[in-house]
Each structure stands twice: as structure tokens, then as C-alpha cells.
Amino acid sequence: MERDPLVCVMGEDVGHYGGSYKVTKGLATKYGDLRVLDTPIAENSFTGMGIGAAMTGLRPIVEGMNMGFLLLAYNQISNNCGMLHYTSGGQFKIPIVIRGPGGVGRQLGAEHSQRLESYFQSIPGIQMVACSTPYNAKGLMKAAIRSDNPVILFEHVLLYNLKERIPDEEYVLSLEEAEMVRPGEHVTILTYSRMRYHVMQAAKTLVNKGYDPEVIDIRSLKPFDLYTIGNSVKKTHRVLIVEECMRTGGIGASLTAAINENFHDYLDAPIVCLSSQDVPTPYAGTLEEWTVVQPGQIVTAVEQLCK
């Protein structure tokens, strides 16, 4: 925001409150109430307003207090955000960033625990990224703001308390590249967002058992970085996808199709996809735990895959 006066933030409670997860804390004091705009509770309209502002020269960042609320903005995100650059014949660009916390939290109930990556992924004209560490959160956010394309940045409710040393100097990550988390030889595990941590936890167990998994955080949910992924598949010949998204029509489903299409010859076994259950997230702690993929399941899946 300091670098470019056209960058502004809009959303519910982003200003005086500092954001429901304190992401925008202190910004309103520094930049004023118009640049960090507290909106009324009207997601569809203020997202549309952000899109109109983007079309006329600003670079807004729209926050969904919880990603689930952005379902109310689906009209604007699908029709206007995704489409207008195309239907205007390239005349208007929409450099907007739509971000917010999503995913399954700690017993927040079904509506606050939604996994919306799959819902948005088919919209033509948008890019989707998911951050998972403080380092890539900052880099991806900068890249998203600087990009002339509309970007949906998926944050996760449970990852806001992570602490990490990050470089002082400015850095910007690529929106389209995946991140190699742990190089390995036996199996390629593709994951993103919070599941990365479950995967790394399972990886510890797997290493103790003698396996050498390669873990890639795909980061770019749309489009997929088929180069990094492809190179990995060509090396290990086995793929496991671990995601928090639902099984039906999810990111994993698309990724399975993409890998099968492009790297079929390199696979020694069918791709295994571990997704969360196709249920509305239950409130009860135990049920909620069984909804998402747990490290134990990942270990079992790798063992099966590597037989």
C-alpha cells in the first residue's frame, strides 16, 4: 500500500477493527478510512464495487471476512470479475485481489468451515492461489496485488498464528509456480494450504519407516504448475494428492485429470487422491476430525501406493 497509492482495501471490519483475523491491523490508522474501507454487510455489492473500482483504475483488495461469505458475492466474482476483461474485448482489466480465511477450523460449524476452492475453480478468467506459510503468504500477496489479473487468494483460518523468519528485503513470488517443500524419490505428494502441515507430519513418520516422499505445495490452484509437478512425476512415478477440498469436483479431481492427461506414461500406479469428506463440516470435534484428512491416513496411503 505504501508503494502504490492506487492499492486499497475493502471489506467488513477491515478498518477500525483491523480485520477479523487482524490481517489489516493498523492499516486504517496509517492510510485512512477511504483506503481501508469498512463496508456494510453486502458482499455481492461491495465486491462488485471493488470490481468497478478496479475497472476504473484502482487496485483494490476485497476481503471476505470468511471465505464462505464470498458465496454471496458469487454473481460478481463469476460474471464480472472473471468475465469482463474478455467480454469487453480486452478494454478493461480487473486487477483485484479477493482474499479471506477459509477451510475447516476448530469447531466453527458448517457455514464457517467451507472449502470453496472447488466452487470457484471453474470460473474462466481468474487465478487462484493458496498460501500456507508466512513466507509464501507475503510473497503471493504481493504478487497478487501487482498482477493485472483478478486473483483469489485462499488463506486458512488455522494458519494465522504461524511464526517464521522472513527476509527483510522485498520479495515477490510467482503466482503460477509450485513450491518444492521436501525433495524425495519414492512418491510425489501434492498438497496445499493447511494440509501441507498434515503431510509434513506424516512425512516424518514415513521417513522413520524408510520412505522418501517428495512433497510439493502446489500453491497455484488455478492454473496448475505442470512443470514442477511433471518433473516430480517423472522422477517418482507415484502420485498422492492430499487436499482439504471436497472429493467431488475438487482441486484434487482436476489435478488428477491434468496429471493423467499429461504424464500418463510416467505413472506406475493410479493416482491416489485424499480429500475431505463430502459432508458439511460437523460441529462435534471428533466428527470434524474425521472430515479432513489426518496424517495417519496419509501414511497408510503412501504405504499402499509404494507396495
Whether residue 259 contacts residue 240, with contact meaning beta carbons closer than 8 Å, is answered with no
Candidates 54-62, 185-193, 203-211, 287-295 — which segment interacts with other proteins by CB under 8 A?
54-62
Pick between residue 11 and residue 295 the one whose CB is nearest to other proteins: 11
The window from 52-60, 97-105, 132-140, 207-215 that contacts other proteins (CB under 8 A) reads 52-60
Which is the catalytic residue, given 12, 43, 179, 243? 43
Q: Cβ atoms within 10 A of the Cβ of 295, count?
A: 19
Closer residue to other proteins, CB minimum distance, 26 or 32: 32
State yes or no: residue 109 binds other proteins (CB under 8 A).
no
CA dihedral 123, 127, 128, 134 (to 10 degrees): -160
Q: How far is the CB of 13 from other proteins (least distance, A)?
A: 15
* Residue tagged active-site, from 12, 85, 112, 214: 112
- Would you call 63 a catalytic residue per the annotation? no
Using CB under 8 A as the binding rule, the residues of this chain from 9 to 38 that contact other proteins are 32, 34-35
Is residue 240 helix, strand or coil? strand
Reduced to 3 states (helix: H, G, I; strand: E, B; else coil), residue 179 is strand
Of residues 55 and 272, the one with the C-beta less far from other proteins: 55
Alpha helices, DSSP H, located in the chain: 27-31, 43-55, 74-75, 84-87, 117-120, 134-146, 195-208, 226-236, 251-263, 285-291, 295-305
Q: Least CB distance from residue 287 to other proteins, whole Å?
A: 34
Contact flag: residue 232 with other proteins (CB under 8 A): no
Task: Count the residues of the shown chain that bind other proteins, applying the rule CB under 8 A.
Answer: 62
Nearest CA to 117 out of 132, 129, 104 is that of 129
Q: In angstroms, give the least distance from the CB of 248 to other proteins.
A: 19
Distance CA 41, CA 224 (A): 34
* Region 110-129 residues binding other proteins, contact defined as CB under 8 A: 124-125, 127
Residue linked to cell 462435534: 284
In whole angstroms, give the CA distance from residue 246 to residue 276: 5
3-state secondary structure string across 181-197: EECCCCEEEEECCCHHH
Residues 159-218 that bind other proteins (CB under 8 A): 175-177
Indicate which single residue of 2, 40, 168, 208 sits in contact with other proteins (rule: CB under 8 A). 40
User: The dihedral of CA 293, 295, 299, 300: what is its sign?
Assistant: negative
Tell me whether residue 16 is one of the annotated catalytic residues: no
Q: Site mask, other proteins, residues 255-284, x = CB under 8 A?
A: ---x--xxx---------------------
Question: Which residue number, 40 or 210, has a Cβ lying nearer to other proteins?
Answer: 40
Contact 190, 273 (CB under 8 A): no
- To which residue does cell 510467482 refer? 174
| Contacting positions for other proteins (CB under 8 A) | 5-6, 8, 32, 34-35, 39-40, 42, 44-58, 75-76, 79-80, 84-95, 124-125, 127, 147-149, 175-177, 220, 222-228, 230, 258, 261-263
Active site positions, annotated: 43, 112
